[in-house]
Structure 1
Amino acid sequence: MSRRCELTGKAVLSGHLVSHSNRKTKRKFLPNLCNVTLQSETLQRSVRFRIAAASLRSVEHRGGLDAFLIKARDGELSQGARQLKREIEKKMAAAS
């Protein structure tokens, strides 16, 4: 399982640990990943994702999972999230 958010694409970053004497050693900055279950109103079912805590706040800010996926670019979504986005768009098109 990769250390990457399935909704925003946030991943591991590398940098330096800088000591008081200004010596630099390599380190990794890991995203704060959480296993969450989000509810899709359009599909009437719940979906499990491994997303960053900041992404969870973004989903709530945009008005839920469906609104977040519709606005999100396909390049930053995981394969499962892209498939869910297509299902939501089909269901919304059929309802219109």
Structure 2
Amino acid sequence: MTKHCQVTGRRAGVGNRVSHSHRKTRRRFGVNLQHKTYWVPSLGRRITLTVSARGIRTIDRRGIDVVVAELIRRNEITA
């Protein structure tokens, strides 16, 4: 499983876990990644993407055809 969103490129961030006494230890802020299958009319097939919640909203707003064309241009997926 990829650790980044294929649409937005979001990855896990890092920061500090801060205790009550203010001791700091490193931690990770994970991304809300989902495996989603979309029907792409321009390709005539389904594709499975690893997208974040923000990436799903981006697909809903811009349309799957536009997003897939951009992913093909960036070589994230094959046509």
Regarding TM over 0.5, the answer is: yes
Cα RMSD (Å) = 2.0
Q: Deviations 1:72-94 (Å, cap 9, x if unpaired)?
A: 673xxx632xx34xxxxxxxxxx
**Alpha-carbon distance in 1 for matches of 2:70, 2:3:** 23
* Cα drift, residue 70 of structure 1: 4.0
The percentage of counterpart residues that share the same residue type is: 32
Q: Deviations 1:14-55 (Å, cap 9, x if unpaired)?
A: 111112222111000111111110121212221111111110
Please say if 1:79 is aligned against 2:76: yes
* Cα drift, residue 71 of structure 1: 5.4
Structure with more helix by fraction: 1
The runs of at least 4 consecutive aligned structure 1 residues that moved more than 2 Å come to 68-74
Q: Partner residue of 1:66?
A: 65
* Aligned positions, number: 78
SS in 2 for 1:79: coil
Q: Normalising by the residue count of structure 2, what TM-score does the alignment of the two structures yield?
A: 0.79
Q: Normalising by the residue count of structure 1, what TM-score does the alignment of the two structures yield?
A: 0.68
Contact 2:8 2:54 in 1 (8 A): no
Which segments of 5 or more consecutive residues in structure 1 lack a partner in the other structure? 85-96
> Which letter does structure 2 place at the counterpart of 1:79?
E
Structure with more strand by fraction: 2
